[in-house]
Amino acid sequence: MALQERQSGFVRAGFDYDRTRGYLFRSDRDSLARSPGDALDPTLAEAVHASSNAPVLYFDAPARVPGCQFWNGGIAGYNNPLNALIQPVRSGTDWVVPPGLTPRDFAELIKLPMDAVEQDRVDLIVKPGQAWIDDFVLNQPVRTNRETLACEIGYRRFGDGVATWQQLPPRQTAG
């Protein structure tokens, strides 16, 4: 089943190996944030594989989507999946750290290297991740209104995206 056939509205970041540039896999081809002239029509599995396949230091070849090859989105600057969570939050006229974090946590998180594997670093990553899953931390929209900071494209909270995903019709299997 192609991504366009499902009505979920999600985006996955990849890196187009052949064109050496970032690429966003979209389930909604009519999105206001779409790329013009996009001819790819990957399955959900292809988009997930292409956007999560680690680069050459870890694997031997890019993921393949018919007509293209991809590494994960980290090469395109979408390196830290928590980056969308680790940002200041507007509170009235001030900027504050996201809910569930101390200023020290925030300062440490924004400096974490890509290969954070030490347990104390992993524990630090879990804090905002769990706050995001619990809907205390907002998603980073695909597009934000510059004046109001409202989410124009995407889901405001993780739970909103999950609820939409759960309402999709079941996938039809061949056979």
pLDDT, residue 75, reads 55
Span 32-81, pLDDT tens digits: 666 666 667 788 888 888 888 777 666 678 888 888 888 876 655 555 44
pLDDT at 101 over 50: yes
Mean of per-residue pLDDT scores for the chain: 75
Span 67-87, pLDDT tens digits: 888 887 665 555 544 454 466
What is the arithmetic mean of pLDDT over 86-100?
76
Following DSSP, what letter does each residue of the chain receive, concatenated?
-BGGGS----EEEEEETTTTEEEEEES-TT-TTPPTT-----BHHHHHHHHH---TTT-SS-EEETTEEEEEGGGGT---GGGGTSS-EEETTEEEPPTT--HHHHHHHTT--TT--SHHHHHHHHHHHHHHHTTSSPPPPSEE-TTT--EEES-SSHHHHHHHHHTSPPPPPP-
pLDDT, residue 4, reads 46
* pTM (2 d.p.): 0.51
Parallel, antiparallel, or unpaired for β 21-26 and 89-91? unpaired
Burial category of 85 from C-beta neighbours within 10 Å (exposed 0-12, middle 13-18, buried 19 and up): buried
pLDDT at 94 over 80: yes
Longest alpha-carbon distance in the chain = 58
